[in-house]
Each structure stands twice: as structure tokens, then as C-alpha cells.
Amino acid sequence: MKSFFQIILIGIFITLNTKVIAQKTSINLAQQYYANGELDKALDTYNKLAKNQSNWAIIHTQYFSLLIQLNEFQKANKYITKISRAYPKNTHYKIDKGSLILAEKGEARKKQYFESLRKQFSEDPFTSRKAAQYYLQKGERNEAVAVLILAREKSGDPALFALDLANIYRYINKKQLMIEEYILFANTNPTNVRYVKNSLQVTLTKPADIQNLESYLFSKIQDDPENSVYIELLIWANIQNKNFGSAFIQARALDRRLLQGGKPLLEIGKMALSNQDYSSAQKIYAYIMATYPGSNIGIKAELWNITTKEEQIKNTYPVSEESLLQLTKLYKNYIGQYPTNKLAYKAQLQLALIEGYYLNRKAEAIISLQQLIENPRVNSQLKSEAKLTLADIYLLNEEPWESTLLYAQVDKTMKETPIGYKAKIKRAKLAYYQGEFELAQAILDILKLATSREIANDALDLSIFIKENTVFDSTHAALKTYAAIELLLYQHKNEQVLATIDTVINYFKGQSLEDNFIMLKATELKKSGDFNGAATNYAQIVNNFPMGVLADKALFLQASLYHNNLHNYEKAQELYVRLLKEYPGSVYVAEARKQFRILRGDFEPSS
């Protein structure tokens, strides 16, 4: 008896399985007919499949589309009514009916139908979102927005669907509405602010976009001055436009209100410094020092303030030895004032770099760095930095083997870390200086995969530069000469370089590195204080090599010289405009536009 029932069950299973296989085969056949353009055969097969309700979900999209395509409106109406009644909660089938109404009765009737659907869908937020998502799939963007807004109005929650709407507006490029919705979303929970910043970073790509955001945030702050979300986003907007002074003013107010302890201010100061806005950086650090005296953040700000002075001195040409000597006093005072603070070791490292690299006190610098390396209280990170600085000074002192040894030590002990990568790229650069291009390339190939994007980009740039200038020159004469000159400049043999550079330029005239040699000359003239000579050479690059990779950089540097060193503001404006027009894709466009606006008087440089 048992075996008899087993036989029956097996028979039933086989029968059902056979039917499933047959249905699947029919569906595949119908889809194949449709794909091949055999629409009548496809329709005939689909009609048979549609008699079985279990097939509807699988065949619906293609079958319904085919009915409309072949003007089978009566059959399509009957089918869509039947499937909608069978699945009354399915929004997709109701929305699909709009395609039939459009084909049969026109756009006006479809709009009326969607309006009636909108009222149904908006009763429930879950249904509204589902409907909006399907409208987007169907290309009905306006209807997706309308459903969500009506549902929001009915719910009484002014921020309902803020993120959904922001993303739709982003998709259809309605940036102002997108901004408003993202800010609504940020207001629902302060933790959403980071997400909003990331989204705006991607979508607000033009200066005008950021300016519109700023204007809107100012209006919101006037309405609700205590809302920290608006202020935080305004700080972010100012930073995007590199208006660090304005960012500081807003961040200072937020620091007081939220008792943030000055940490966000310190970060803004670092950003101002990295963008060479020394005035704003110094104001920020001075405020932190005055507001948090004696605290860890105040002591940090004091060191960053000295660092800012250092960067300003190093980037003001010609570099003043007297200013450097004053700077060493500031570092020594700092070290004496906080001898037990770990930051004093960082100050000692920076002091050694100035003494060894800029003041030709190599022996003192080497002793100071060796003390740091041997000090058991100094952490491994700072010891590694000291070793790299010591290696740089040995290279300056024409002891490249000592440099190689130290770079290798740091690379080995700090593998797969930013400072380890930094050691490796310095080793590659040393090989490049020495004309060992194959070795340099081997190291650079490893660094292209570095987790540090900055290191990876530097490695890629140098790698491409070597490849481009060795592929058609088997002797590598031009590149070896160029690399040797770069090493001389690194070793501060500037007068030797300037005395021979014209001969080198003439010798390699017409070769691929000619514009690079001229750029070296222009840079050294600028450092020596010959700003007119530098401007002439920058202009030579722009005029003689307008399609070269250095043209936009040379034009920007020329404009900067007229702006900041020669104080010929009319000429500077002319050059900034030329850059914007002739090189719209340049990485210097944003800064050129900002500097042009400063010269035009749109806003103060430190605002």
C-alpha cells in the first residue's frame, strides 16, 4: 500500500514538473518571438499563457506592451482590469494602465488618470514611495514628485520624503530644489549632515552652485539663527569656495555654542594653510591660542601658527634669511616652553629641517635629528619622519648612499603606511635624480597601488614623465640632464643652474623637454626675486607651447606673479580671464576664478 501511494505521488510530481517545464518553454518561446520581431506569433503565445493567472507576473511587462503596440486596446483593457482586481495593492499594474490610456485616449486623459491615482497612493507613505519609484522607472519624473509632495502634505510632516525628493531633483538637475530637500533631510537628524555634504560635493560642481547654496543657507540662518545644521553646512560651503575667513567666522560661533573645544577650528586652519591662505590660518590659530591657552588644542595651535609663518616665509621670494633666523627663535622658544610635550619633538624636527635645508647648518641639523631618532620617548612615526628628513639633508650634503640607506629603513619598518610610501617615493626620486630610470620605474609601479591617493598620483605623474621622455630617446640624454638639474636645485645650487640653463635650453631646443627646461628657469628666476624675468619665461611657455601640458600652469603662475609680486592687477585680471577661456578644463580654473573675483572686488581676499 505504501509503495502504491509513493507511485501516485511520483506520478503527480512528474506531471506537475512536466507542466512547469512546458510553461517555461512557452514563455521563452514568446520572448524569443518578441525579440525577433515576430509579434503576431509572440502575441498568440502570450494570449495562451495569459489564461493561467500564475503566468501573469512573469509575462506582464512584455505582454501588456505588446498589446498596446499592436493596438489591441480592448484586450489590453480587459487584461489590465483583471490583473489589477486580482492584485489590488500592486501599484505597478495601476500605473501601467496609464500607458494604455495614453495610447488610446491621449496625454490629457492620461494626466487625469494619474491625478486620480495620486490621490489613492498618497494616503499611505509606503505606497507613495513605492509608486514614486515605479514612476521613475517609467520615466514619469514629474508624477513621482507630485505623489510624494501630496503624501507629504497629507501627513503633516514637512520633511517626509526629503531624501527621496532630493535624489529625484538631483537626477533631473533641479539643483535649487535638491538643495532645499537635502537641507530638510539634514535637519531631521544631525547625523545626516555628513551624507548631505558628500552628496552636495558630487553635485555642486560649479562656483555658482556653491554661491546659491550659501545664499539659501544665509536666508535659513536669518529665520532660525540657532540652527547649528545651517551653520555647519555654511561652513562647508565656504570651505568649498576656499573662503576660509568666512568659514572661520561661522565655525567660531558654532564652537562657542556647542562647546567643541576648538578642534573644528584647528582643522579649518590646516585647510587654510594648505591652500596658502596664511592670513586666515594665522587668525584662526591666534584665536584658538587666546581662547584655549595652556590646553592641548592651544599648544597645538601655537605650533601650527609657527608652521604657518614658516610656509609663508618659504613661499615669499626671495626667501629672507633674516626671517628664517627669526623663525628658528620661535621654534626654540616653543621647545623651551613645552619641553615635556610630545609636540616639542615635532617642533625640533621642523627646526632641524630649516637649519639644514635653508640656513646651511647641516651639521647642527644632523645632530638634532640623530638625537630625535635615538630618543626613547619619540614615537615610531616621528622617528621615521626624522629619518626621512635626515636622509634629505644627506642628499643635500651630496651623500646619496646615506640617504638611500635611511629611505630603505623607513620603507621596511613602516610598510603599507603613508610614511612608508613617502620613503619609497623619495627612493624613486633619488634613482630618477641619478639617471637610474629603470629602477625608478620599478619602485613607482609599486607605488601606483598605494592606499595614499596623493602618493599614488605623484608616483603616476613621475612614471608617465619618465616614460614620455625615454621612449623616443635611447640615450636618455635630455631627461638625464633635466633630472641632474633638478638635483642641483634641490641642493640649492641655484646660481650654477641659472648660469647654464640657457645653454641647456638651446642644446635641447625642439625636443620634448624644452618647455620643462624653460619652466625650471622661470621658477628659479621667481625664487631669486627676478619676477619680470620669470613672467617672460612663463609667457614663452604659453605662447610657444599652447597645447603642451605645462601651458595652463605657466599661464596661472604668470597671472599670480602679476597679481602678488608685480602688483599689475590689470594684467593679472587679463591673464586669469585668458586661462578661464582657453583652458576651461584646467585644475587651476577654480583658483583663477577666485583670484579674478578678488581683483574685481567681489569680496575681500580673507573673507
Q: What is the 3-state secondary structure (H, E, C) of 6-22?
A: HHHHHHHHHHHHHHHHH
What are the Cα distances from residue 471, in Å, to 146, 463, 483, 484, 509?
60, 12, 16, 19, 18
Question: Quick one: pLDDT at residue 16?
Answer: 38
Cα 378 from chain centre: 34
Q: What is the pLDDT of residues 44-71, one digit of tens each?
A: 888 888 888 888 888 888 888 899 999 9
Q: Virtual CA dihedral for 132, 134, 138, 143, nearest 10 degrees?
A: -20
Question: Quick one: pLDDT at residue 607?
Answer: 41
Q: Which residues contact 75 (CB under 8 A, 6 or more apart)?
A: 67
Question: Quick one: pLDDT at residue 13?
Answer: 46
Grade residue 9 by pLDDT with cuts at 50, 70 and 90: very low
Question: Quick one: pLDDT at residue 6?
Answer: 55
Question: Quick one: pLDDT at residue 145?
Answer: 96
% the chain with pLDDT above 70: 95
Q: Which residues contact 11 (CB under 8 A, 6 or more apart)?
A: none
Average pLDDT on 16-25 reads: 52
Question: Quick one: pLDDT at residue 342?
Answer: 93
User: Domains of the chain (ranges plus CATH)?
Assistant: 477-600 (1.25.40.10)
The span from the CA of 474 to the CA of 560, in Å, is: 38
The span from the CA of 587 to the CA of 28, in Å, is: 53
Grade residue 308 by pLDDT with cuts at 50, 70 and 90: very high
- In eight-state DSSP terms, residue 55 is G
Helix axes 342-353, 321-337, angle to 10 degrees: 160
Of 107 and 34, which is predicted with more confidence? 107
pTM over the 0.85 mark = no
Single out the residue of 110, 108, 30, 92 nearest to residue 66, CA to CA: 30
Taking a C-beta distance cutoff of 8 angstroms, is the pair 206, 594 a contact? no
Residue with cell 591660542: 289
The span from the CA of 503 to the CA of 515, in Å, is: 14
Residue with cell 609680486: 565
Average pLDDT on 475-503 reads: 92
Taking a C-beta distance cutoff of 8 angstroms, is the pair 572, 559 a contact? yes
The span from the CA of 21 to the CA of 27, in Å, is: 10
pLDDT at residue 40 greater than cutoff 90: no
Q: What is the pLDDT of residues 416-428, one digit of tens each?
A: 899 999 999 999 9
Grade residue 3 by pLDDT with cuts at 50, 70 and 90: low
Grade residue 220 by pLDDT with cuts at 50, 70 and 90: very high
Q: What is the pLDDT of residues 336-383, one digit of tens each?
A: 999 989 999 999 999 999 999 999 999 999 999 999 999 999 999 999
Average pLDDT on 233-241 reads: 93
% the chain with pLDDT above 90: 76
Grade residue 185 by pLDDT with cuts at 50, 70 and 90: very high
- In eight-state DSSP terms, residue 354 is I
